[in-house]
Every structure is written in C-alpha cells, then in structure tokens.
Structure 1
C-alpha cells in the first residue's frame, strides 16, 4: 500500500501555467483555487467558504500540455499527490503551502465545453505536436466523422443539406 495521499480537486486556475525545467526534465506550475460552497438551511442561501489555494506541478508531457491547454480562470479538475511544504517568507515567518503533483489535469466539463486534440506520438519523446489541423482546436470535420464509424464500416456518401443542392443530392435536374 502506497503512503501517497491522492486527491481530486475541483477549482479555478489562478494564473497561466508557467513552464520550467529541472535539469533536462520540463515541468509546469500553476495555482488552483477552490472555494467550498455550503447551503444554509436557516437562510435558504448558498454561502462561500474560505478559498483554499494549491500549487499544482505537472511534469514532462503533462506539463507541456497544461501550458498549451489551460489558462487563468479556467475551471479544472486535478488528480494528484498531495504534499505539504513549510518554508520561510521574507519576514522569516514559517508558511505552510499545499502542493499537488498532478497525475492528470482536465477542464471541468460541468462548467463549459472543451475540444480535445490528440498529439502526435505515444512515447516520452512527444514534443506536443498536434496531429491534425495544425494547432489546437482545428480539426478537419471529415476526420472527426471518420473516427466515429464502426471498425470496418464503409464511409457514408455525403448528402445534401436541407433546402440546398450539394454532393449526393439526386433531386437536381
């Protein structure tokens, strides 16, 4: 049994992820804020609790993907190893910070939509190149449709859009 404390956090990105390197290994760091909300039966209202801030560190490919994919203000879900670090500030006071070494990071789809673009390569040598469309978010619609066909299924012939002529429209005279 592992002694790591694995947590799943929902929150808002507090700053654009910053890219760093530790020797030959790349990483990204960003701050994640989580504000708990509680329903007060006495008043019938929701109240915000105290915001808790976490420093999230994502190593290697995950870090590179965080830098390209998430931004300040995005709602995200982070799963990772929780650690507590004590350090001294400029005034010489001990400060305790909560840090998460991310195992996975993604947008919180209960708050909006997101577009996923798979990167080229499966190995550690992946430099984050986008496999289709040239940049994140640009995917050829034909490729997307093809990806959803059943294995071995023949591609469907295009049909005309309602009210117009187009490929496969047999009503044209």
Structure 2
C-alpha cells in the first residue's frame, strides 16, 4: 500500500531484453535520466548528473515495450520505485529499479505512431457478447406536466 510511485522522463540506455517466463512475458531495460539546468554564468543549458534505473515490465507491457523501444528513444516511465542495497565481496552497491505500470514515447521530443495490439482470439471467444446499452433518453410525455415524485433516501 505504501509504495513510491514515480514518473521518470529519460532515454532508453540499453536495448530491451525480452524473456518468456512461467509467470508470463517480462522485459527489462536501463533508463538514463539526466537533469538539465540553466548555467546563469554561461547563459546556456547544461547537463547535470545522470541517474540510471532498471525498468521492469511484465505481461503485455513487456511484449509491447520490447517491440517498440530502441536505444536512445526518449520515454516516459511510470511505476513503483524499488531501491535495494547490498554488500557483496566487500563492495557495497545500490540499485534503483522501476516496476513499470506505463511506458510511452516522450512526444515533447518527437512523434510516434500508435498501433493497438490485437487481443488473443481465445479471450474474445470466451467472453459472452453483451448488447450495447440504450443511451438515448426516452421522449418526454407531453400529456403529463407533473413533476416527478420525490424519492425517499434511507
């Protein structure tokens, strides 16, 4: 319940690695997020520190990410932040992972062509067809000009 949800804007740093696991598709890639700031002395934008995150995607998001992302693509990633620290062989390390909920191209830096993924045939065949609801408002009865009866709320 108390998870840290973040939105990171950066560039794909490694080609997504796609795997078919027993629990379903999984993909991961590294995301480079570089801060930019205005250097008032030089009056120009300067790159700051770069943070690297390992982005994990599962199920359909993994399949779509592996088929859509390439190294250098500007992306927006939303997901749960997981920071882990450990000591191995005397060396301490910290990793920051994002368990992605949504991934998309950053349209502030380019264009993208969206294509829906087809649904599996078995899912559509198993779901019963539901009729479209009647959204039209029935015509008003012109003979009756009385106000509707109030409804008691308990």
Q: Distance in 1 between matches of 2:55 and 2:87?
A: 19
* DSSP-derived class of the 1:67 partner: helix
- Alignment pair present for 1:29 and 2:14: no
- SS class of match (2:32): strand
Q: Flag structure 1 segments of 5+ consecutive residues without an equivalent.
A: 127-173
Q: Residue 116 of structure 1 corresponds to which residue in structure 2?
A: 114
Structure 1 stretches of at least 4 aligned residues deviating more than 3 Å after TM superposition? 122-126
What does 1:21-170 align with in structure 2 at a 5 Å threshold? 21-88=20-87, 91-121=89-119
Q: TM-score, normalised by structure 2?
A: 0.73
Cα distance between partner residues in 1 of 2:85 and 2:51:
16
**For residues 90 and 4 of structure 2, what CA distance do their matches in structure 1 show?**
29
Q: Please list the CA deviations of residues 78-128 of structure 1 after superposition, one character each: whole Å capped at 9, or x if unmatched.
A: 000001022445x541110110000000000111110001111179969xx
Structure of greater Rg: 2
Residues 40 and 119 (structure 1 numbering): CA distance in 2 closer, same or farther, change over 3 Å? same
**Structure 2 Cα separation of the partners of residues 123 and 73 of structure 1:** 34
Aligned residues of 1:6 and 1:82 also touching (Cα < 8 A): yes
CA RMSD of aligned residues (A): 2.2
Closer, same or farther in 2 for the Cα pair 1:67/1:106, shift >3 Å? same
Distance in 2 between the 1:124 and 1:106 partners? 27
Residues 37-76 of structure 1 show CA distances to partners (whole Å, capped at 9, x for unaligned) of 0112233121111110000000111000000001111000
Q: How many residues align?
A: 124
Task: Give SS of 2:72's match.
Answer: coil
Partners of 1:104 and 1:85 lie apart in 2 by 22
Segments of 5+ residues of structure 2 without an aligned counterpart are 125-154
For 2:11, the equivalent position in structure 1 comes to 12
